Amino acid sequence: MTTSLRDALDAWRQLLGAPRVDDGDRAWARYGADTTAATRQLGGALRAASADQVPEIVRIASRFGVPVHPISTGRNWGYGSALPVNHGCVILDLGELRRIVAFDAELGVVTVEPGVTQADLAQFLAQAQHDFLVPVSGAGGTASLLANALERGYGVTPHTDHFAAVTWMEVVLADGTVHRGMLHEAGGPELASLFRWGLGMYTQGLFTQSGLGIVTQMSIALARRPESVAVCLFSLKDEALLEAAAVAIRQAMQRLHPTLGAVNLMNRHRVLSMSAPYPWDHLDAQGLIDAPTLQALGRQFQVFPWTGFATLYGTRRMVRAAQAELRQLLGGIASRLLFVTPRRADTLARLARWVPGASGRGLQRLTQSLRSSLELVAGRPNETALPLAYWRHRHPERAASPKNPAADGCGLIWYAPLVPMRADAVRRYAEMVGEVTRAHGLEPLITFTTLGDRVFDSTVPLVFDRSDPAACARAQACWHALLARGREAGFFPYRFPIQGMEPLRQLAPESCALSERIHRSLDPQGLIAPGRYR
């Protein structure tokens, strides 16, 4: 431990109290587990008790030249969990900052601190019977709302792009000063929370995917709960229908948005990862599910090569009209086109319990997953997507509750590139992912999610046995191979795990140089989350 680090930890203990400051070893024990199998040497960890302490925490970091890595809940699974990009950082845990600072029940804007989770907001809204949707993600109820928006995450509720719903932020800069924006300063907090562009230079975007400051409050515009919520489920019975489906989805987004919230298109592997146990006893020579078993699982769980999941929000008349349009667009392409409401999903889950045998058990799993997915669509956070992280875990039954893939030993790295919404691009991309993942001994789990009507974000979870060092190495190599092959083919991630920051610097030197110039102005010592996207 260097003298400067020791002195900084002593100063932080005086500010926060000794129980809230960890040395490096205790910090590693508390924060070191990561689904990507990355490791980092930590200088220590701090747990702030209130937002008022953050400016002085940063001033101490500046005084002693010790870098800090802020986290909200540390649930950044698949991208680094709670770990920093660089070695030697001190974790600044803001998870105890859980105040819902303000809520405008008439206009639907909530202001939260970093530790407020999806479940916290859901409970707050339910207790007061406020008819608004939580901007949920697949990370589950224990994940931070603020942090997901800062990472430009997205979901399936009407405000699909979570950062686009952010109207205002309070940010602590590297010198301990607090930035709230010109409109907040000159016009007051109410107007600032209602108008996302503020006044003068738009600065909010600077603090996403950057580490330029520490966000201690955020205002988020919530979608009002509509009269009708439904999903459209459909299947592609033949792999060759993928291109036609991509075109139909693009046309649907062009015609039906915003009644049509988002469309997910998932391959068979991806659906099975959330509904069926991994068949360890039926693997081929590469250690992957053999073809007969994959077909058998598809029959048992009623999963075709591709499954579509589209969300619909609006009045009953609007949703009925959108359903008619979707039938027209998808009718000649999709099989088993089905529109389901939350009530109908509950009925299907109850009826499935009466179906006997293996088919019945598969149907029960599928309908339960459907019911959970409908809850998510209705803005109620749950863990319906998290089982995929446990798919190649040797003992998924030992998962904690609530699930924590990092602490439970799961292996997961996200490859999340943008894919143009064109038929040929979707086909080339799916074939590329299948080829690269199989070459590295990984199952090809693919989802296409609409981000508007021009581009998909495709999430590919690289799921592996984290207890096996060889499997960890293959997963890391696979991510880098996907990055290289995808870039050659015109696909590139919208978000990077911590081990991807160095390749990003090499691929975007001019942009990283500009980012570095901005950082030198606001954070000349490079103290806040060094190495992130720069």
- The predicted structure's pLDDT at residue 363: 59
Q: What's the token pair of residue 511?
A: 């942009």
Q: What percent of the chain has pLDDT over 90?
A: 85
Pairing of strands 90-93, 306-314: unpaired
Top mean pLDDT of 352-356, 368-372, 510-514 is at 510-514
Considering the domain architecture, whether residues 207 and 328 belong to the same structural domain is answered as no
Considering the domain architecture, whether residues 348 and 431 belong to the same structural domain is answered as yes
Considering the domain architecture, whether residues 118 and 35 belong to the same structural domain is answered as no
Considering the domain architecture, whether residues 488 and 469 belong to the same structural domain is answered as yes
Considering the domain architecture, whether residues 411 and 334 belong to the same structural domain is answered as yes
* 117 DSSP assignment: B
Considering the domain architecture, whether residues 211 and 252 belong to the same structural domain is answered as no
Considering the domain architecture, whether residues 19 and 74 belong to the same structural domain is answered as yes
Binned at pLDDT 50, 70 and 90, residue 352 comes out as low
Quote the domain boundaries for residue 132.
Answer: 100-221
Query: In terms of Cα–Cα distance, which of 30, 17, 7 is closest to 81?
Result: 30
- The predicted structure's pLDDT at residue 375: 84
- The predicted structure's pLDDT at residue 344: 75
Q: Which run of H or E residues covers position 68?
A: strand 68-71
Tell me whether residue 533 is in a domain: no
* One-character DSSP codes across 174-186: TTS-EE--HHHHH
- The predicted structure's pLDDT at residue 371: 76
- The predicted structure's pLDDT at residue 374: 80
pLDDT at 123 over 80: yes
- The predicted structure's pLDDT at residue 373: 81
Binned at pLDDT 50, 70 and 90, residue 364 comes out as low
For the segment 493-501, the average pLDDT, to the nearest whole number, is 97
432-469: pLDDT as tens digits? 999 999 999 999 999 999 999 999 999 999 999 999 99
What is the chain's Cα-based Rg?
A: 23
The CATH number given to whatever domain includes residue 260 is 3.40.462.10
- The predicted structure's pLDDT at residue 367: 67
Binned at pLDDT 50, 70 and 90, residue 97 comes out as very high
Q: Cα torsion at 488, 491, 494, 498 (round to 10°)?
A: -40
Boundary (domain end) residue, out of 93, 127, 145: 93
Considering the domain architecture, whether residues 198 and 347 belong to the same structural domain is answered as no
For the segment 477-502, the average pLDDT, to the nearest whole number, is 98
- Which of 345 and 324 is assigned the larger pLDDT? 324
Q: What's the token pair of residue 226?
A: 């509509």
Tell me whether residue 322 is in a domain: yes
- The predicted structure's pLDDT at residue 184: 97
11-49: pLDDT as tens digits? 999 999 999 999 999 999 999 999 999 999 999 999 999
- How many separate domains does the chain show? 3
Considering the domain architecture, whether residues 406 and 273 belong to the same structural domain is answered as yes
- The predicted structure's pLDDT at residue 138: 87
How far apart are the C-alpha atoms of 96 and 50, rounded to whole Å? 8
Boundary (domain end) residue, out of 56, 74, 93: 93
pTM for this prediction: 0.95
Boundary (domain end) residue, out of 93, 120, 153: 93
- The predicted structure's pLDDT at residue 275: 86
